[in-house]
């Protein structure tokens, strides 16, 4: 069936500019942001160093079948809608819309997250930005200077994406490899100065509980490798479809290695229990270990570079999903417009930019709760994609991999929904999901 579908695709005229390296940068860049700096304290509190490392390593291993399924699907169906296009082939339109709407949430919600994070990082470097309080959300203050920094970043990313995918991909490549270079430098310093004794105790709770608590947020921090299909219509004419598959697997593998390494080096350089209530625990660990302020600046520079690339990568993915939803008339069709000069989904880009600015007004109260909701939303999309592949593919081995991916994704969904599992959704998360579903239903009815 996949071979038949490959011949039936009608390509939308987005600009054909991307190569395999660009797809790796988009996949890895959409996955690894500034969580390793901003919420390292939460990871260590959940699992301790060994629990956090095992949680990310196990999560990455469990996601291999999901990555395989996405690689196979995008080779056969290079469509900006990704999960929307896959589920449309085998399920009713309501399933396709629900899947696309949840995946849009998974990508989009990262954008205001990064706008808030850039303000926090800037304030760490310049404490004067923690002034001129405007209001509070859930008891947390929103400061005018930090808000201005976040909104400015949102406007810049929107402008870059409006101009063209080549502009966006170039920014993504520089930021991705800039982060990896800076990361290699401070890891080398950490290995030279740290001690294995700092790992004790290895877990924050009982072993399986520690790993489970971390595993619950892994989908949020690993979301991104499957963003490659969202730009698949923008592949260069000479691009070979196997490049999609390689980019997805490389993005997943390098992402897991990055997360495990950064947790290890933070716990290696400083006793971790004292970091569980520290803002920017990664920077604090290195500052306490070295007493060199410039090392902290290097880490924050790496975080800022990483922040730009994850913002840009998720902006690309969410704007393409909005474009695909509009093109399929699952939401108002105006969002499916393509700019005649820049060949970008201009209406979707502007719409995502405006929503990002609006959500940024909520301030840092959204940071950790967003991690919880985003984890479930991305796992729902993975489940739908694997289920669609299972329906499409008659061969036993392929169906087994699809079933394995679907079971992994379903388990990640249930970990957030079932009250018997530690770290499940609270009432606030269920309210947020209900509001999001209602907004999607309203848009769908309008369309």
pTM of the model: 0.87
Beta bridge partners of 136: 141
Assigned domain for 423 exists: yes
Instruction: Compute the average pLDDT of residues 395-424.
Output: 85
Question: Quick one: DSSP state of residue 127?
Answer: G
Question: Quick one: DSSP state of residue 232?
Answer: G
Assigned domain for 267 exists: yes
Mean pLDDT of the chain: 86
User: Residue 1: pLDDT above 70?
Assistant: no
Residue 202 CA neighbour count, 13 Å, CB half:
10
φ, ψ (nearest 5 deg) of residue 294: -70, -25
Assigned domain for 7 exists: no
User: Residue 370: pLDDT above 80?
Assistant: no
**Residue found under tokens 């939308």:** 12
> Which residue in 206, 231, 212, 194 sits closest to 78, CA to CA?
231
For 71-115, write each residue's pLDDT tens digit.
999 999 999 888 999 999 999 988 999 999 999 998 998 899 889
Residues in the chain: 447
Assigned domain for 420 exists: yes
Domain count for the chain, please give it: 1
- State residue 7's pLDDT score: 41
Instruction: Compute the average pLDDT of residues 119-142.
Output: 84
DSSP code string of 272-326: GGGGTT-TTHHHHHHHHHH--HHHHHHHHHHHHHHHHHHHHHHHHHHHHHHHHHH
- Stated as kind and residue range, the H or E segment containing 243 is helix 242-269
In which domain, by residue range, is 282 found? Answer: 28-446
- State residue 213's pLDDT score: 86
Give percent of the chain with pLDDT exceeding 90: 39
- Stated as kind and residue range, the H or E segment containing 381 is helix 367-392
Assigned domain for 129 exists: yes
Tell me how far apart the terminal alpha carbons of the chain are, to the nearest angstrom: 30
Q: Which structure tokens are listed for 240? A: 């070979």
Contact in structure between 406 and 386 (CB atoms under 8 Å): yes
User: Residue 9: pLDDT above 50?
Assistant: no
Question: Quick one: DSSP state of residue 333?
Answer: G
Instruction: Compute the average pLDDT of residues 336-357.
Output: 91
* More confident position, 161 or 444: 161
**CA–CA gap between residue 274 and residue 191 (Å, rounded):** 20
- The set of residues, in sequence order, having a beta carbon less than 8 Å from that of 81 and lying 6+ positions away, is 88, 100, 230, 320, 321, 324, 325, 327, 328
Residue 436's domain is classified under what CATH number? 1.20.1740.10
Q: What is the dihedral of CA 270, 272, 274, 280, to 10 degrees?
A: 80
Q: Which structure tokens are listed for 246? A: 């390689």
- State residue 121's pLDDT score: 83
- State residue 104's pLDDT score: 93
Q: Which structure tokens are listed for 410? A: 């379903």
Assigned domain for 12 exists: no
Q: What is the dihedral of CA 117, 175, 255, 362, to 10 degrees?
A: 20
User: Residue 11: pLDDT above 80?
Assistant: no
Lowest mean pLDDT among 136-140, 251-255, 385-389: 136-140
Assigned domain for 15 exists: no
Assigned domain for 427 exists: yes
Contact in structure between 219 and 379 (CB atoms under 8 Å): yes
User: Residue 423: pLDDT above 70?
Assistant: no
């Amino acid at each position: 069936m996949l071979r038949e579908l490959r011949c039936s695709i009608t390509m939308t005229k987005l600009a054909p500019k991307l190569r395999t390296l660009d797809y790796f940068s988009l996949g890895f860049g959409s996955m690894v942001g500034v969580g390793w700096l901003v919420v390292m304290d939460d990871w260590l509190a959940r699992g301790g160093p060994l629990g956090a490392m095992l949680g990310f390593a196990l999560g990455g291993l469990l996601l291999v079948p999901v990555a395989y399924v996405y690689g196979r699907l995008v080779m056969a169906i290079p469509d900006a809608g990704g999960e929307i296009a896959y589920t449309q082939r085998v399920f009713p339109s309501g399933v396709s819309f629900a899947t696309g709407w949840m995946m849009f949430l998974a990508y989009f919600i990262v954008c205001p997250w990064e706008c808030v994070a850039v303000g926090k990082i800037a304030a760490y470097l310049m404490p004067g930005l923690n002034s001129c309080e405007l209001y509070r959300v859930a008891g947390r203050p929103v400061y005018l200077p930090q808000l201005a920094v976040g909104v400015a970043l949102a406007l810049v990313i929107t402008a870059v994406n409006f101009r063209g995918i080549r502009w966006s991909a170039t920014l993504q490549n520089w930021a991705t490899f800039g982060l990896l270079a800076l990361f290699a430098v401070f890891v080398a310093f950490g290995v030279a100065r740290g001690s294995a004794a700092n790992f004790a105790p290895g877990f924050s709770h009982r072993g399986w509980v520690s790993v489970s608590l971390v595993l619950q947020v892994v989908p949020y921090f690993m979301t991104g490798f499957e963003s490659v299909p969202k730009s698949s219509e923008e592949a260069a004419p000479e691009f070979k479809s196997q490049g999609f598959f390689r980019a997805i697997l490389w993005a997943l593998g390098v992402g897991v290695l990055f997360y495990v390494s950064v947790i290890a080096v933070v716990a290696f350089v400083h006793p971790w229990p004292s970091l569980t209530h520290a803002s920017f625990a990664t920077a604090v660990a290195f500052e306490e270990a070295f007493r060199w302020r410039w090392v902290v600046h290097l880490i924050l520079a790496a975080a800022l570079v990483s922040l730009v690339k994850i913002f840009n990568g998720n902006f690309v993915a969410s704007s393409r999903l909005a474009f695909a939803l509009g093109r399929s008339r699952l939401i108002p069709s105006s969002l499916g417009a393509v700019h005649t000069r820049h060949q970008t989904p201009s209406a979707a880009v502007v719409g995502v930019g405006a929503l990002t600015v609006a959500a940024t007004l909520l301030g840092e109260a959204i940071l950790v709760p967003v991690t919880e909701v985003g984890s479930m939303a991305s796992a729902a999309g993975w489940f739908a994609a694997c289920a669609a592949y299972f329906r499409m593919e008659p061969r036993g081995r392929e169906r087994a991999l699809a079933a394995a991916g679907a079971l992994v994704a379903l388990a990640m969904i249930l970990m957030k929904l079932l009250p018997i599992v530690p770290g499940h959704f609270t009432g606030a998360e269920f309210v947020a999901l209900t509001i999001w579903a209602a907004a999607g239903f309203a848009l769908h009815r309008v369309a």
